[in-house]
């Protein structure tokens, strides 16, 4: 026995006992003896739904509204009889919270429409192969930069899965094959169709001089004019992508899902546009090709947006075919240019 009369092994036994007690507490806290397989499935489903909701509201005004709802719920909870006991405030907060769901439907009807459209998409469409075809992204990209080099403004909207019939009907129906020369000519000054948007889909130049909805995003920079706001607005209400050519800056920008990518270089625009259309292709289970011509690289994809047969050596014309799908919601003019 060491000096002091204490056994040498007692501190070690005490530490071991405390460690065993902590481990036992953790095991009891995580006791999953009553946790069934059905409960696991429910947790996974709820986690998936919550994750999808977060993705849906990410980067939108809904985030600020969620913070506001959390604040209202906290005020209602803290003023209850079990805490502060502010009966008058607590009584006023109750009807406010009851009307919140109706306010959400009114304020975020576009976001809800997009979510329901996505949930209602046919999961077996990838096996049907009704809209397969080769896409010539380079035709649209080359035409956009040709316009930018001449300081000619333009707005090109490309369909993905959601149709744009309401907006094509607001313009002049073309139903023409995709052509570099035709795109450049449409936006040339003093031509009848140079104002408004050109809508591309189903392998065709569907319509020109179309009216588009303007974004209501309050935080958008004042440097953006009507053309840019229309490009963002259509991508907020649908899954389309927009190419914006600024006549003042001679630059080309891209809008996807309400987000604008400014002053892109040609390879960057091609890469982003390809990626945006590939997301549709992967959902439909179609295939991706890469074709390189003698003078330039031509990216070809299978997509419902721009489909058709291979072009000639010049890479300027294409002969696709397709029909216009349906859409919803009309909007305001996106034809006049800002910056």
- Higher-confidence position of 110 and 30: 110
Contacts of 17 (CB under 8 A, 6+ apart): none
- Within a domain: 311: no
DSSP 8-state assignment for residue 211? B
- Within a domain: 70: yes
Task: Quote the Cα angle for 27-49-35, to 5°.
Answer: 25
How far out from the chain centre does Cα 54 lie?
Answer: 13
Cα–Cα dist 305/187, whole Å: 20
Q: Identify the domain containing residue 93 by its residue range.
A: 37-119
Q: Is the pLDDT of residue 203 over 80?
A: no
Q: Where are the alpha helices (DSSP H) in the chain?
A: 10-29, 37-57, 62-78, 87-107, 109-119, 137-149, 165-168, 180-186, 226-237, 266-284
106 and 223 share a domain?
Answer: no
Cα–Cα dist 139/142, whole Å: 5
Are 304 and 240 a contacting pair, CB within 8 Å? Answer: no
Cα–Cα dist 215/194, whole Å: 21
Q: Is the pLDDT of residue 25 over 50?
A: yes
Q: State mean pLDDT over 138-146.
A: 91
Task: Quote the Cα angle for 254-259-264, to 5°.
Answer: 30
97 and 151 share a domain?
Answer: no
91 and 165 share a domain?
Answer: no
The pTM assigned to this predicted structure is 0.51
What percentage of residues in the chain have a pLDDT greater than 90?
A: 19
Q: What is the pLDDT of residue 182?
A: 93
175 and 60 share a domain?
Answer: no
108 and 142 share a domain?
Answer: no
- Within a domain: 203: yes
Q: What is the pLDDT of residue 280?
A: 54
Q: Give the lowest-confidence range in 263-267, 283-287, 292-296.
A: 292-296
181 and 271 share a domain?
Answer: yes
- Within a domain: 2: no
242 and 167 share a domain?
Answer: yes
- Higher-confidence position of 171 and 283: 171
- Among candidates 310, 300, 142, 164, which has minimal Cα distance to 239? 164
154 and 298 share a domain?
Answer: yes
Are 228 and 260 a contacting pair, CB within 8 Å? Answer: yes
Q: State mean pLDDT over 280-284.
A: 50
Domain count, the chain: 2
Q: Is the pLDDT of residue 331 over 60?
A: no
Q: Of how many residues is the chain composed?
A: 339
Domain boundary among 119, 142, 166: 119
Q: Which helix (H) or strand (E) holds 135?
A: strand 134-136
Tokens at 172, concatenated = 């002049």
Cα–Cα dist 232/314, whole Å: 32
Domain boundary among 119, 140, 167: 119
For residues 60-87, one letter each, b for 16 or more C-beta atoms within 10 angstroms of the residue's C-beta and e for the rest, the string is bebeebeeeeeeeeebbeebeeeeeeee
81 and 213 share a domain?
Answer: no
Q: Give the lowest-confidence range in 77-81, 108-112, 142-146, 207-211.
A: 108-112
Q: What is the pLDDT of residues 227-271, one digit of tens each?
A: 999 999 999 888 899 999 998 888 999 999 888 998 899 999 988
CA-based max dimension of the chain: 106
168 and 114 share a domain?
Answer: no
Q: Is the pLDDT of residue 90 over 60?
A: yes
Q: What is the CATH number of the domain that holds 282?
A: 3.40.1700.10
Q: What is the pLDDT of residues 107-130, one digit of tens each?
A: 777 667 766 766 655 444 433 333
Q: Is the pLDDT of residue 89 over 60?
A: yes
Cα–Cα dist 65/74, whole Å: 14
274 and 174 share a domain?
Answer: yes
- Within a domain: 21: no
Q: What is the pLDDT of residue 10?
A: 60
Tell me the pairing of strands 134-136 and 297-302: antiparallel
Domain boundary among 119, 142, 160: 119
Q: Which helix (H) or strand (E) holds 69?
A: helix 62-78
Q: What is the pLDDT of residue 15?
A: 63
């Amino acid at each position: 026995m060491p000096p002091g009369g204490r056994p040498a092994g007692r501190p070690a036994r005490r530490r071991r006992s405390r460690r065993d007690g902590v481990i036992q507490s953790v095991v009891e806290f995580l006791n999953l003896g009553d946790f069934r397989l059905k409960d696991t499935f429910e947790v996974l489903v709820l986690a998936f739904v919550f994750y999808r909701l977060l993705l849906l509201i990410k980067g939108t005004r809904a985030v600020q509204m969620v913070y506001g709802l959390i604040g209202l719920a906290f005020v209602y909870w803290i003023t209850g009889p079990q805490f502060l006991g502010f009966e008058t405030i607590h009584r006023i907060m109750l009807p406010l919270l009851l009307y919140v769901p109706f306010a959400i439907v009114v304020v975020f009807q576009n976001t809800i429409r997009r979510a329901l459209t996505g949930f209602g998409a046919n999961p077996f469409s990838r096996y049907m192969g009704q809209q397969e075809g080769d896409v010539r992204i380079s035709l649209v990209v080359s035409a956009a930069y040709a316009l930018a080099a001449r300081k000619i403004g333009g707005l090109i909207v490309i369909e993905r899965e959601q149709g744009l019939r309401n907006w094509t009907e607001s313009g002049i129906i073309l139903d023409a094959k995709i052509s570099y020369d035709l795109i450049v000519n449409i936006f040339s000054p003093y031509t009848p169709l140079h104002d408004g948007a050109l809508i591309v889909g189903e392998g065709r130049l569907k319509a020109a001089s179309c009216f588009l909805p303007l974004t209501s995003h309050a935080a958008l920079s004042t440097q953006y004019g009507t053309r840019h706001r229309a490009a963002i607005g259509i991508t907020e209400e649908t899954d389309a992508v927009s190419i914006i050519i600024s006549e003042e800056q001679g630059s080309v920008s891209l809008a996807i899902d309400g987000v604008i990518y400014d002053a892109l270089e040609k390879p960057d625009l091609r890469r982003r546009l390809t990626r945006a259309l590939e997301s549709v292709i992967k959902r439909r289970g179609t295939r991706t090709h890469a074709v390189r011509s003698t003078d330039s690289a031509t990216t070809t994809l299978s997509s419902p947006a721009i489909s058709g047969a291979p072009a000639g050596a010049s890479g300027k014309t294409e002969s696709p075919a397709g029909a216009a799908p349906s859409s919803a919601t009309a909007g305001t003019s996106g034809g006049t240019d800002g910056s």
